[in-house]
Chains A and B, each alone.
Chain A
Amino acid sequence: MEAIWQYVLAGVVDGAIFALVAAGFVLIYQVTGIINFAQGEFVMIGGMTAASLATAGMPVLAAAGIAVVVAAAAGALAYLVAIRPARKATGVTLIFITLGLDVAIRGLGLFVWGTNPYSLPAFSAGNAIAIFGGVLPPQAAWVLGTDAIVFGALYLFFRHTFVGMAVRAAVANPPIASAFGIPLRRFAFLSFVAAAAIGGLGGVVITPIPGAQYDMGLTYGLAGFVAAVLGGLDSLPGALLGGFVLGILEHLAGGLLSPGWEQGIAFLLLVLVLVVRPQGLLGRAVRRA
């Protein structure tokens, strides 16, 4: 029983990061209709930038801030180089393009950082956090706090700001929104920047726990898809819920069956959701891309 509780706690921490990646998917999918297969690579950019700067002697929080900016810039660049020139392309072509982006960014990470793993000190010193007999590393507080802030900010932005409502209008009905002067293309650009920044932030806060390596993006990207589809591709609360559900399930499967089954369970779940409830747990209806 104690072991199970510990799996759940560890799953919550990982799930928090999956939720951030999933939020990036949802943002981009909502605004552009694109499934961005490169989403996980922004996690890698955030984690690797922070870890390598901190290793070079920069204070941890400064490195973390720069890493998020670098990830956001990578998102902007990715949009301008690969997505914008292909904006007339149809569904399958765009899938392949973001797949190419994923591979290219990972390759770039290999050039910049090599294959060595990097580590990043925890943001704050302190003892392990004990919760009902389970323990979490102190960094977990930063991870969960980041989720609270990011999702809180997204909620406020979409519900209570003029621009946020304009984005929702653009999602609801692009042609009409465009007729009202809402700049769809700029929103598409900004959705990539925001998704990349959020992914990068996720990479920054999680890296003190498992470390960072150039190929870490694939794992987070794939988990992020599952979380996003699980929660509903058009739902930010769904991304949050999907992230936690997936994180907990993966750790339970890994702990109770064998570590190798983690991914297997995650993707069986994805297939199941796609077939049984393609709109996800909290989504409305599947938008035909």
Chain B
Amino acid sequence: MGYGRFALVLLGVVCALVWFVPSYYTGLVTQIGLYALVAIGLNLFMGYAGQVSLGQAAFFGIGAYTSATLAVKLGWTPWVGMIAGAFAAALVAYVLSFVALRLRENLLALATLALGIVINVVFNQWEFIGGSSGIKDIPGFALAGYTFSPRGYAILAWALVAFGIWFAGNLVRSSFGRSLIAISAGELGAQALGIDGERLKRQTFVLSTVYAGVGGAVYASYASYIDPTSFNFLLSVDFVLMSVVGGIRSLWGAVIGAAVVVVLTPLLQSLVPLVMPSARGDVQTFFFGALLIAMLILLPSGITSRWSAAGRT
């Protein structure tokens, strides 16, 4: 089944689901959708193009801050904010790509990590966008008089995921996608085949931040409050975990990975203190780190690799 049709089925399932489950779970469903968007973009850049980004949370943040600032300061609707957020993230990524994408592997990882942290410092220091106290009372989405409820956000998030998967699915099966895989296999060889690696990597990086920017913009209106800690390095690590767990070169893997991380976080935070009463706060971090290591050693192509391998044989 093609990406588009499967995505529509999934959207239908989510739409049906959110009418039955309690509102807490609707929130989780929304969060999975928004993070999945970021992870889909990240998988294009890391999985298909073979690059690495340890700063993706910053672009999620740029999307969120752009939409929130436009809405709070200028009264713009979040619908426009969503497009502006994607555009702002893409613009920053485009400029930074001239710096970062000259580097490879280890150094690219360090550079994206550094840029992510610098952007976070800017969030913190720029008083116009709220500084360390962030932005509160961010207006929500509305459509023809209907103000979005938590259900509405879940459906919006997953509609975006469906569109994002469909778009990325078409992309990776085009000559663009095959060129990306060629780059990840060896940039020099790809260049010998006439592929402009530099340009392709830039386009993919920018596209991955469009996904992050859209996700962030919707997140801002959904959460109605953002501050710099919502977009720090630890979130970038979570995004990497989502990518790796689901399968770095798999679009559905991004969705699965986002679901695993979003569901495990509150689950571990409530279960672990039962066993270890002294453990408080971000107790999921140990398990996430261990999960990341275990996946890379035991199943480096992610959970979905098993399924597709089983499907082919």
A→B interface (CB under 8 Å): 35, 81-82, 85-86, 89, 91-93, 95-97, 99-108, 110-111, 114-115, 218, 222, 225-226, 229, 258, 260-261, 263-264, 267-268, 270-271, 274-275, 278, 286, 288-289
User: CB within 8 A of A35: which of B109, B240, B244?
Assistant: B109
B300 touches A275 (CB 8 A): no
Q: CA A96 – CA B109 in complex, angstroms? A: 10
Closest to B287 in A: A107
Q: Contact check, A274 vs B293: say whether CB atoms are below 8 A apart.
A: no
Q: What are the 5 tightest A-B residue pairs by CB atom distance, in nearest-first order?
A: A107-B286, A104-B289, A100-B292, A103-B289, A264-B121
Do residues B107 and A274 form an inter-chain contact, with CB atoms below 8 A? yes
Are the CB atoms of B283 and A92 closer together than 8 Å? no
Q: How many residues of B contact A (CB 8 A)?
A: 50
Taking the closest CB of chain A, its distance from the CB of B94, in whole angstroms, is 16
Q: Report which of B46, B104, B276 forms a contact with A288, defined as CB distance below 8 A.
A: B104
A104 to B289, CA, bound (A): 4
Chain A positions within 8 Å of B292 at CB level: 96-97, 99-100, 103-104
Which residues on B sit within 8 Å (CB–CB) of A263? 117, 121
Residue in A89, A229, A274 with the greatest tally of chain B CB atoms within 10 Å: A274
Contacts known (A93-B296, A289-B105); A107 close to B283, Cβ less than 8 A: yes
User: Within the complex, what minimum Cβ distance (angstroms) separates A64 from chain B?
Assistant: 25
Q: Which of B262-295 contact A (CB under 8 A)?
A: 276, 278-293
Taken residue by residue from 88 to 125, chain B's Cβ proximity to chain A (1 for < 8 Å, 0 otherwise) reads as 00000000000110111111011101110110011011
- CB-contact partner of A264 in B125, B237, B244, under 8 A: B125
Q: B288 near A96 (CB under 8 angstroms)?
A: no
Given contacts A89-B296, A110-B282, A111-B283, contact A270 B289 (CB under 8 A): no
Q: Which residues of B contact A218 (CB under 8 A)?
A: 233
Given A82-B297, A101-B289, A275-B102, are A110 and B121 also a contact pair (CB < 8 Å)? no
Q: Is the CB of A92 within 8 A of B52?
A: yes
Query: Which of B114, B241, B285, B290 has a CB less than 8 Å from the CB of A267?
Result: B114
Contact call A104/B286, Cβ cutoff below 8 A: yes
**Is the CB–CB distance between A95 and B289 below 8 Å?**
no
Q: Can you give 21 A-B contacts (C-beta < 8 A)?
A: A93-B300, A95-B52, A95-B106, A96-B292, A96-B296, A99-B54, A100-B241, A100-B289, A100-B291, A103-B285, A103-B292, A104-B285, A104-B289, A106-B286, A107-B285, A110-B285, A111-B279, A268-B118, A271-B111, A274-B110, A278-B107
Q: How far is the CB of B46 from chain A (nearest CB, A)?
A: 7
B50 on the interface (CB 8 Å rule)? yes
> Does any Cβ of A come within 8 Å of B132's Cβ?
yes
CB nearest neighbor in A for B244: A96
Given A104-B290, A218-B233, A267-B114, also A97-B296 (CB < 8 A): yes
**Contact between A264 and B276 (Cβ–Cβ < 8 Å)?**
no
Q: B244: which A residues are within 8 A, CB to CB?
A: 96
Q: Which residues of chain B come closer than 8 Å to A274, judged between CB atoms?
A: 99, 103, 107, 110-111, 114
Tell me whether A261 and B125 are in contact (CB under 8 A).
Answer: yes
Q: Which residues of B contact A81 (CB under 8 A)?
A: 293
Q: In the complex the two chains form, what is the Cα distance from A218 to B54 in whole Å?
A: 14
**B106 & A35 in contact (Cβ 8 Å cutoff):** yes
Given A35-B106, A260-B124, verify A100-B285 contact (CB < 8 Å).
no
Cα separation A104 to B244 with both chains bound (whole Å): 16
B237 contacts across to A, CB distance below 8 A: 99, 103
Q: How far is the CB of B105 from chain A (nearest CB, A)?
A: 4
Closest to A104 in B: B289
Determine if A92 and B105 form an interchain contact, defined as CB atoms under 8 angstroms apart: yes
A267 near B297: Cβ-Cβ < 8 Å = no
What A residues does B113 contact at CB under 8 A? 222, 225
Nearest chain B CB to A252 CB, angstrom units: 16
Least Cβ–Cβ distance between B306 and chain A, in angstroms:
18
Interface residues of B in 236-264 (CB under 8 A from A): 237, 240-241, 244
Residues in A with CB closer than 8 Å to B132 are 260
Q: A96-B292, A96-B296 are known contacts. Are A264 and B118 too (CB-CB below 8 A)?
A: yes
Contact check: which of A91, A104, A258, A268 meets B293 at CB < 8 Å?
Answer: A104
Q: C-beta contact mask, B50-74 vs A, less than 8 Å → 1, else 0?
A: 1010100000000000000000000
State which of A104, A107, A108, A261 has its C-beta within 8 Å of the C-beta of B121.
A261
Closest to A225 in B: B110
Q: Closest A-chain residue to B98, C-beta based?
A: A275
Note all chain A residues with C-beta closer than 8 A to B287.
107
Task: Select which of A91, A258, A261 is within 8 A of B106 by beta carbon.
Answer: A91
Measured in the bound complex, the distance between the Cα atoms of B285 and A23 in whole Å is 27
